Structure 1
C-alpha cells in the first residue's frame, strides 16, 4: 500500500476505535456521528484486510492484528502531534487537546481534581486522561505515550534521561479509627509492630512510608494491603488497624469523626513529587501551559 493513496485521517479513527473498543464511544471521542464512525470502521477493515474489532458476547474486542497496531500507532500519532504543535502558539480557551498523565490516586485527588475544576473555566475543551504509575511508566514517557508523569523522586532511578521539576513535598501521618480501643493519644514504636497494620500501595507504587519503616528495621503486623492510598483510611472504621498516609490526605479526614490522626513515633522522611517529561516536548507550547497549571495548583497546596 502506498502512503499517497492512504487517507491519514483513518489513523486517528483507528486509534480511537482501538482505545475504546466501541464504535459509539469512539464516535463520541472524535465528536462525530455513530453512522460516520461505522462507515470508517468498514473502510479500515477493507484497507487493512482485518476485522479490527470483533464481537465477543455483548462487547467488541480488538483482533490480534489490531492489538499489535496499538502502540506503534500511538507513537506515530504522538510524533505527528509534536510536529504540528512544535513552535506554534497554544490557546487554552479554544484548544481541544487531550493530555495523558501518569499519577497516583493521591496526586489525582489533591492536584489533578482541582485542575479539572479550573479547566472548565479556562480551557473548556481540553481534557485529561489519568493513568496509574506502573513499571512501564518511564518507557511510555520516553515513547511519548504519556505526556507527563508525577512520581516521587525517591522511587526513581538516578540519571533519568528526562526533564524533571520538583512539584511539591509531602510527609506522612498515622491514621486509625477514632473508636480504636488499642490506641491512646499517641502511637508508640512498639505499637507500629504489634497493632494490625493496613498497608497502602497503588500497583507498583508502594508506600514510601513502608520503605522508611523497613530502613528503620521496624516490622509490621500487616493485616491487609489496599491498592489505593485514598481508599485506605475508609477501611479503618470498625477495625483495630492503623495506616500511614500522606499528611494532606489525612487533613481531608479531620472533620470526619470516624478517624483519628496521630504523629508517627519515629521520623518518616518527606518525599518529593516530581514532574517528569520527555525532552522532545520542549517546544510544545501546550505542554508548557499544562506544566504551569500544575505548578500553580501545587503552590496552592497547604
Structure 2
C-alpha cells in the first residue's frame, strides 16, 4: 500500500471503528454522524480489500485482518499525537486535558484524594477520571482505556509494563471499640481471632481474597467469614455495633476515622502491601504523562513520610 495515496484522516476513523466495533459510536468519537462515518468505512474496505467489520447477529465483529491492525494502528496514532502535543511542551497550569486512572477504593481514598487536592492549584485545567480496578490490567493499558493503573505489586509480580513504587501499608484488625475480641493490650489474640466472625474484603464478582486473606490461606489459617464486601472504605462502617472483626489496611482506619472503630495488631505476621503505578511504555516519554507520574510520586512520598497517629 502506498501511503502517498492514502488520506491519513481515514486512519483516525479506522482506529475508532476498530475500537468501538460500531459505526455510530465511532462517528461520535471523531465528530461525525453515522451516515458520514459510513463513507470512510467504505473507502477503508476498498483500501484494505477486506470488509474489516462484519455483522454477527445484531453486532459487528472485526475480521482477522482488522484484528491484526488494532494494536499497530493505535500505537502509531498515539505516537503521532504525542509528538504533536510535545511540540509546544506541556504546561499544567494552562493546558486542559484528561487522565484516566484505575485504582481500588483504598488507593482513591489514601492517594488519589490528596492528588486531586494537589491538582486544584497546580493544574486547574486537568480532569481526572477515576475508574474501578479490573482483573485484566494488561488489556486496560494495551487498549488505552486508562493512563495509569495503581495496584499492589504483589498482585502483578510478573508484569512487563513499566512501573514505580508509590507507598506501602500494613494490616490491622479493625473492630468496634466494644468488641471483646480486641484486648486492652491493643492486640487480638489468636484464640479471639479464630473464635470471631469476620467481615472480609473480596475483589471482583468472584470475590477473590485480598492479600491478607491469601496469606492466611497459604498458612492454613481458616476462620468464619460472616460477610464479604468489595470496598475497603465500607468495612469500618459495617463493623460498627457488631462483634465482627476485619483485616483492614491501617490508613483506611486512620483516614476515615469512623467513630467507635479501632485498629489492633493481628495475632500473626502479615506481609505489608506495596502499591505501584503501572503504565504502557508508549507513554513513558510523553511530557504530560511524565508530569502526572511525578505528581503521583510526590503525593505518595508526602503520604509515606507523614507520621501516623496512634491507633488506640
Report the TM-score, using the length of structure 2 for normalisation: 0.74
In structure 1, how many angstroms separate the alpha carbons of the residues matched to 2:96 and 2:7? 28
Moved more, 111-120 or 219-228: 111-120
* Pairing 1:286–2:283 present: no
What SS is found at the alignment partner of 1:200?
Answer: strand
Q: 1:40 aligns with which of 33, 42, 62?
A: 33
Equivalent residue runs for 1:100-179 within 5 Å:
100-158=100-158, 160-179=159-178
Moved more, 86-95 or 75-84: 75-84
What SS is found at the alignment partner of 1:245?
Answer: strand
Is the 8 Å Cα contact of residues 176 and 262 (structure 2) preserved in structure 1?
yes
* Pairing 1:198–2:191 present: no
Is the 8 Å Cα contact of residues 11 and 73 (structure 1) preserved in structure 2?
no
Equivalent residue runs for 1:1-302 within 5 Å:
4=7, 40-41=33-34, 43-44=36-37, 64-65=59-60, 76=73, 79-86=76-83, 88=87, 89-158=89-158, 160-185=159-184, 186-203=187-204, 206-254=209-257, 256-301=258-303, 302=306
Query: Residues 116, 142 of structure 1: CA spacing in aligned structure 2 closer, same or farther, 3 A cutoff?
Result: same
In structure 1, how many angstroms separate the alpha carbons of the residues matched to 2:237 and 2:70? 41
In structure 2, how many angstroms separate the alpha carbons of the residues matched to 1:264 and 1:148? 33
Give the Å deviation of 1:236: 1.1
Is the 8 Å Cα contact of residues 198 and 245 (structure 2) preserved in structure 1?
yes
What SS is found at the alignment partner of 2:233?
Answer: coil
What SS is found at the alignment partner of 1:168?
Answer: strand
Give the Å deviation of 1:260: 1.8
Query: Residues 205, 121 of structure 1: CA spacing in aligned structure 2 closer, same or farther, 3 A cutoff?
Result: farther
Is the 8 Å Cα contact of residues 15 and 73 (structure 2) preserved in structure 1?
no
In structure 1, how many angstroms separate the alpha carbons of the residues matched to 2:133 and 2:17? 26
Query: Residues 253, 100 of structure 1: CA spacing in aligned structure 2 closer, same or farther, 3 A cutoff?
Result: closer
Aligned residues: 277
- Report Cα offsets for 1:176-198 as digits up to 9, x if no partner: 12233444323111222221101
In structure 2, how many angstroms separate the alpha carbons of the residues matched to 1:75 and 1:201? 36
Give the Å deviation of 1:213: 1.8
Query: Residues 279, 105 of structure 1: CA spacing in aligned structure 2 closer, same or farther, 3 A cutoff?
Result: same
Report the TM-score, using the length of structure 1 for normalisation: 0.76
In structure 1, how many angstroms separate the alpha carbons of the residues matched to 2:179 and 2:246? 12
Structure 2 alignment gaps of length 5 or more: 43-57, 307-312
Give the Å deviation of 1:74: 9.5
Query: Residues 17, 156 of structure 1: CA spacing in aligned structure 2 closer, same or farther, 3 A cutoff?
Result: closer
What SS is found at the alignment partner of 1:100?
Answer: strand
Per the alignment, residue 55 of structure 1 pairs with none
Provide the aligned C-alpha RMSD in A: 3.6
What SS is found at the alignment partner of 1:145?
Answer: coil
Query: Residues 288, 180 of structure 1: CA spacing in aligned structure 2 closer, same or farther, 3 A cutoff?
Result: same
Query: Residues 153, 43 of structure 1: CA spacing in aligned structure 2 closer, same or farther, 3 A cutoff?
Result: same
Per the alignment, residue 34 of structure 1 pairs with none
- Report Cα offsets for 1:35-55 as digits up to 9, x if no partner: xx6x73553367659xxxxxx
- Report Cα offsets for 1:55-77 as digits up to 9, x if no partner: xxxxxxxx7238999xx879856
Give the Å deviation of 1:14: 7.7
Higher Cα radius of gyration: 2
